[in-house]
Structure 1
């Protein structure tokens, strides 16, 4: 039985193919014009060279040779420009590759985070009500936190201590010890090297058995501190710059600043008209940005006693993520399929807009490479520079990439780790990628 596309989808595809056709026609016309200009320049140079050779003393073939060199230079420039156009339609560089896979969660993974301490560990937050700590190098699950009674929606590491902060659907945020003993890294060896040879459900059963063994000796049930005060799901929680305070974001449309040592509420941040979707604290200053389904994100400046608040409007659908990029920029992503780069000193309009073909989830910015990693609902992960220029798209196939929506990505700025980008998704996978930036220069 044949299945037909709905009329609105057919119309949309027709318009998209029409735009592609117009783009190629424009490129073809430009190339034709360049060819004609080259032919005219070559003819003029040849005529000039011939005239000069008749009027000047016999100095060998220097004049015709010069004309040939100019002509060759024009051809080289033309080839370079057309090659650049063609290269934009090629597949991504093969230097993007999956080198690690961290399996064990029994439901979708909402967020992945890299420790900022000396420990080479990874944190994951899952809808299976657990958070996990992994060894980056060996793929091993070192610690499982089971203190929440609802989906664990975010996990962030303390700036300089071995502590983790998780936000949950149970309306609480927990601070708990993320310290793992070096001995625990030898409990179970990774199965990643042979997991591609195991089929479907059998693979998942093996991984579940492995994690069950680890749970017996590496399970944490009690937090160091429980933070309560929200009347809705906590979608995200983050450490403030100095690590003595944390900020939480909730579906109750508010964010709360807590004292991390006493658990006391310091201030409640309000203003959003709909549920919050994320919160991010500045790594060095007392600033925080909250994202919301009300199509805005807000910058809270807690350096000022009067608590300055700036509202950024520019998206047409829910803002799913807003993160700091250096000291002067914020990068926001939205369900409207765009990513925008903003200057903190100018809220009126973004300085760069990236248009994509799918909703954007929790993105990340590499400070060392000024690279934005964008996870999408359509399973893709795209890379752009901070100016909005496309770098590439990570491969997605049966053996590489995610099979369901990618919910979060994070960068590792430590050079001695085996991966420099991590991603997670609703396929229950957490992947470690190697991105070779040198090959793109």
Structure 2
């Protein structure tokens, strides 16, 4: 695995770019985050964008093939929930990021909050579990990202699976990372990060771990993405080139590849596998790209305010493998380990598709089953 030289000064990565036709995604946050207008650059680009053939166009109105049923509701945040993550270490926990300035870790089976992180002073916009340690990275409207301890013991899971509420008492121990960590059972609130990642001048809208968990990528409304050393908290590289606010970022599960999405209607693929970093720019969406995700099968899925979701092959991204046309703008989508795409819409629907673009179903808005 390529390791970056931590002794070198921070790099501003602005490489020669290959412009390809592609579709980025949109992340749309209505309440606390201000909306950006369409620039002259966007208008000119939309008028002169590259035209390519899409291999497959799929309608969103075909009958669903599976039935969805609400199994558990996780209730406790005091404002909108922007992001949800599942533990990558096969622990029975999930995490949520909220506009109420907190991130919560929940027991999947009990539905109870096991740990709350309250160290941010702004909306918590994204949350991601470390691939192999009990750590979480969160991105916030306070212009920072935080790395914090999220160790959940079997005893905590047993305690919280009962009807008893935690007493809210706190106990902290020193961690190898130099920070304060949550201690024994009953430590329900954590307020101090292990590392605070600074350097952005505007909202940090998303953050993710690179493979191995030694580096973190962040995306910001200041139009840049930063690569950090997760141990020291130092900025390794600043990725510049987007012409509007960034809306999302995602790292490949096994390779040192990162994608960033922007309101400038593009998404970019950044390659850190070689000493000389490269970047490719993908056009194709006609409006803001709200999110972009890698799958485990070397695919990229992008969603946009232009009411489309597109599936791409990382090895040949000149045209999408499938284009899903929808009746509403797309918010921050997610792809499961089973390659199911969950597409949340402005109209409050959440629809499920496979990577071939076939509609599988939609999630119910209440406790009833729905197709």
**Partner residue of 1:395?**
364
Q: TM-score, normalised by structure 1?
A: 0.63
Residues 4-38 of structure 1: per-residue CA shift (max 9 Å, x gap): xxxxxxxxxxxxxxxxxxxxxxxxxxxxxxxxxxx
> Counting helix residues as a fraction of each chain, which structure ranks higher?
1
Matches of 2:220 and 2:206, distance apart in 1: 7
Is the contact made by 1:141 and 1:211 (CA closer than 8 Å) also made in structure 2?
no
Residue number among 292, 300, 303 corresponding to 2:273 in the alignment: 303
Where do residues 79-118 of structure 1 align in structure 2 (5 Å cutoff)?
93=66, 95-118=67-90
Q: Between the two structures, name the one with larger relative contact order (CA 8 Å, sep ≥ 6).
A: 2
**Equivalent residue of 2:208, what SS?**
strand
Q: Given the alignment of the two structures, is residue 178 of structure 1 paired with residue 147 of structure 2, yes or no?
A: no
Give 1 or 2 for the bigger CA radius of gyration.
1
- The alpha carbon displacement at 1:347 in A equals 3.1
Q: Structure 1 residue 219 and structure 2 residue 182: aligned?
A: no
Equivalent position of 2:323 in the other structure: 353
| Structure-2 separation of matches of 1:335 and 1:345 | 25
Cα drift, residue 210 of structure 1: 6.1
Matched, 1:140 2:109: no
Aligned-residue CA RMSD (Å): 2.4
- Cα distance in 2 for residues equivalent to 1:254 and 1:211: 41
Shift of 1:184: 2.8
User: Unmatched 5+ residue regions in structure 2?
Assistant: 1-60, 171-185
Structure 1 residue matching 2:71: 3-state secondary structure? strand
Mind listing any 5+ residue stretches in structure 1 that lack a counterpart?
A: 1-87, 192-208, 402-432, 436-441
Q: Which of 287, 291, 294 is equivalent to 2:257?
A: 287
Number of aligned pairs? 296
Deviates more, 1:118-127 or 1:179-188: 179-188
Instruction: Indicate if the aligned counterparts of 1:140 and 1:190 stay in contact, CA closer than 8 A.
Output: no
CA contact 1:290–1:322 (8 Å) conserved in 2: yes
Deviation of residue 349 (structure 1)? 2.1
Q: How far apart, in 1, do the equivalents of 2:321 and 2:340 lie?
A: 15
Task: Return the alpha-carbon distance in structure 2 between the equivalents of residues 90 and 303 of structure 1.
Answer: 42
In the alignment, which residue of structure 1 is the partner of 2:16? Answer: none
Looking at structure 2, the residues matched to 217 and 358 of structure 1 have their Cα atoms a distance apart, in angstroms, of: 42
SS of alignment partner, residue 183 of structure 1: helix
1:304–1:217: structure 2 CA closer, same or farther, 3 Å change rule?
closer
Deviation at 1:189, TM superposition (A): 5.3
Change in CA separation of 1:212 and 1:152 when aligned onto 2, cut-off 3 Å: farther
Matches of residues 161-310 of structure 1 in structure 2 within 5 Å? Answer: 161-187=133-159, 217-310=187-280
Q: Can you list the C-alpha shifts for 1:227-272, whole angstroms capped at 9, x where unaligned?
A: 1010011000000011100000000000000000011111000110
